[in-house]
Chains A and B, each alone.
Chain A
C-alpha cells in the first residue's frame, strides 16, 4: 500500500478544482439557483407533486442531486482528459501509485466536488424555502453513492476519450439528458406509462428519487430499490474502471 501516494493524488485533484473555484464550484451553484428561480416562479402554486409539499421544496433536492451528478462526473473526466491531452498524466503513471489507489483518489475527489456543489445549492436554496429532513443517513448515503457512481463514470469517459470533443459528446449526449430526464423537475408518475417505464431504466432517476426520500420520506419508488440500483451501478462501474486502469487501457501503451 502507498497511503501517502493515494492521499497526495486525492489532495492534488481537490486542489486542482479548488484553484478554479469560480468555474468548478460557484458557476454550477449559480446555474442550479437560476433553474430554481425560474421554475419555482412559474410553477409554484400550479403544480403539487406530493401532497403537502410545495413545488419549490420538491425541486430543491432534484437540483441538488443534479448538481452532484454533473459535477462529480465533470471532476474526474475533465481532470483525466486534460492530463492526457497535455501529457502530464505521466507524472502519476511514473510513480508507484497503484491502479486501486488511482481509482480511490479520483473517486474521492469527485465526491468532494459533487458534495460541495450540492451542499452549496442546498444552503442557498433553503433561504427561499425550508426543507424537512426525513433521514440524514439516507441523504448522506445517496449523495455519496451517486457521486461515487458519477466519479467512476467520469474516469471511464476520461480514459476512453482522446479529444475534448469526445468527452463533451459524452457529457452532452449521455450525462446531461439522463440527468434532466430523471425526475429533477417532475415525478415520473406524471408521465405516460411508456415514459414511466423508460425512466425506470435511467439510474439517475433512482439517485434523485432516493435523495428526495431522504428529505420528505416520500418517493416514486421504494428507497431500498433505489439503493440497490445505485449499489449495482457502482459495482459495475467500479469493476469496469478498475479493469481499464489495471490493463492500462489508453493510459499505458
Chain B
C-alpha cells in the first residue's frame, strides 16, 4: 500500500535560496505526524509542494501514490490543507464558502449533510450565514479547517493551526484533530508549540535549512536526549549568594530561589550537587528532577547543527530558544 505522503529527493530553489535540499520523507497512512523546525526551515515550502501551491525544482511528492504534479487531480482530491494565514473571501458567508469549496472538488448537494456536520463539530452552525468579514479570528480559523475538510480528504495537513489562538479554541481544535485521526485520517501537523507536537504526534520529523535533521517516533526522539541527561530543579529557602564554581557549567536557569541544573547521567551525582550547594551556604527546601521533553530534543538538535555549521545569528540566540516554550 502506498504511503500517505511520499517525499523523494525533493529540492526547491527560490532564486538564491536553496529551501529544500534533497528531502526524503515517508508518512504512512493513519499516522499523526509532526513536522517541526525553526522559522525558514522549509516546513511551509514542503507543505506547499504537497498541496500543489509550490512546484518542486527536483524530486517527487506523492499523495496516496498520486504525483502532486503529474496526477494533481487525484493527489489534491486526497489532501486537505489548512493554511497558516487567516485568508478568506470577503464576498461570501460561511456556508457559501464551504459549498463553493466542495464544488471545486466536484461535490454538490449530496455533500450538504457533511457540511452541516462540519459546522456543528467546529461550533460554527450559528455563524453559517454570517459573512466572513464579521467573524472573529478564532471563527475564521475554524472555517479554514472546515474548508480543508469539505471533500473528506484522507490526508489532512495543518500548517500551524493553533498559532495565535486562545486556550479554549486550542483545546477545541486539539479535540477535533484527535477525532479526525481516530476516524482514520492521516494528520500532518506543523507547529511552533512543541508541547502540542509532543501531546498529539506519534512520529516527528525535524527539519532545518531544508534538510531532515531527525525523523523518528516521539518516544525514540525523547530517548535520544533522556538517555544522557535530565534536569534537576532545586528550590532554596534563601537566595544563593554565588554559584559554586564546580556547578557553573551546569546551570540552565537561576531565578530567585529557583535553580535549574543539567545533569549528565552516569557522571553527575544528585547528592554531590546538593552537597556542593550546601557548602556554598544554600538551604535546600525542595528538589525535583525532570526528564527531557521535545523542546530539549529540538534545542539539542539545533545546537548540534549550529556547532557543525557556522551560524549567522548572534551568540545567545540558542539560549533564548531554550527559554521559550515555542520554537
Chain A residues with a Cβ under 8 A of chain B: 2-5, 7-9, 11-12, 15-16, 19-20, 83, 86-88, 90-98, 248, 252-253
Contacts and interface: CB of A to CB of B under 8 A. Distances in A.
A253 B54 contact: yes
19 contacts: A2-B106, A4-B103, A4-B108, A5-B104, A5-B106, A8-B103, A9-B104, A11-B100, A16-B91, A19-B92, A86-B88, A90-B83, A91-B104, A95-B101, A95-B104, A95-B105, A96-B74, A96-B104, A97-B104
A64 B18 CA distance: 52
B303 interface: no
A96 B77 contact: yes
B101 A4 contact: no
Contacts of A253: 14, 48, 53-55
Contacts of A97: 104
Nearest to B12: A253
B81 interface: yes
A24 to B, nearest CB: 11
Interface in B94-125: 96, 100-101, 103-108
A2 B103 CA distance: 10
B106 A96 contact: yes
Given A90-B53, A94-B81, A96-B76, A8 B100 contact: yes
Contact of B91 (A4, A8, A15, A94): A15
Contacts of A95: 76, 101, 104-105
Closest 4 CB pairs of A and B: A8-B103, A95-B104, A87-B87, A96-B73
B108 to A, nearest CB: 6
Contacts of A252: 52-55
B150 to A, nearest CB: 10
A15 B106 CA distance: 18
Nearest to B132: A88
Contacts of B76: 94-96
A30 B103 CA distance: 35
Contacts of A91: 87, 89, 100-101, 104, 147
Between A88, A94, A253, the greatest number of chain B beta carbons within 10 A of the residue's beta carbon is seen for A94
Contacts of B72: 96
A91 B100 CA distance: 10
A87 B54 CA distance: 14
Interface in B62-89: 72-74, 76-77, 81, 83, 85, 87-89
A15 B103 CA distance: 14
Contact of B53 (A2, A7, A16, A93): A93
A5 B103 contact: yes
A4 to B, nearest CB: 5
A12 B108 CA distance: 14
A15 B131 CA distance: 14
A199 to B, nearest CB: 39
A86 B87 contact: yes
Nearest to B83: A90
B51 interface: yes
Contacts of B55: 248, 252-253
Nearest to A95: B104
Contacts of B88: 86, 88
Nearest to A18: B91
Contact of B106 (A4, A86, A90): A4
A191 B74 CA distance: 58
B90 interface: yes
B49 to A, nearest CB: 9
Contacts of B108: 4
Contacts of A3: 106
Contact of A94 (B14, B53, B85): B53
Contacts of B147: 91
Most buried by A among B54, B90, B104: B104
B94 to A, nearest CB: 13
Contacts of B53: 90, 93-94, 252-253
A243 B7 CA distance: 28
Given A86-B87, A88-B87, A88-B89, A94 B106 contact: no
Contacts of B104: 2, 5, 8-9, 91-92, 95-97
Contacts of B87: 86-88, 90-91
B89 to A, nearest CB: 4
B157 to A, nearest CB: 10
A7 B105 CA distance: 11
Given A15-B92, A19-B91, A95-B101, 15 more contacts: A5-B103, A5-B105, A9-B104, A15-B96, A19-B92, A86-B87, A87-B85, A88-B88, A90-B53, A91-B104, A92-B104, A94-B81, A96-B104, A98-B73, A252-B55
Contacts of A94: 51-53, 76, 81
A4 B100 CA distance: 10
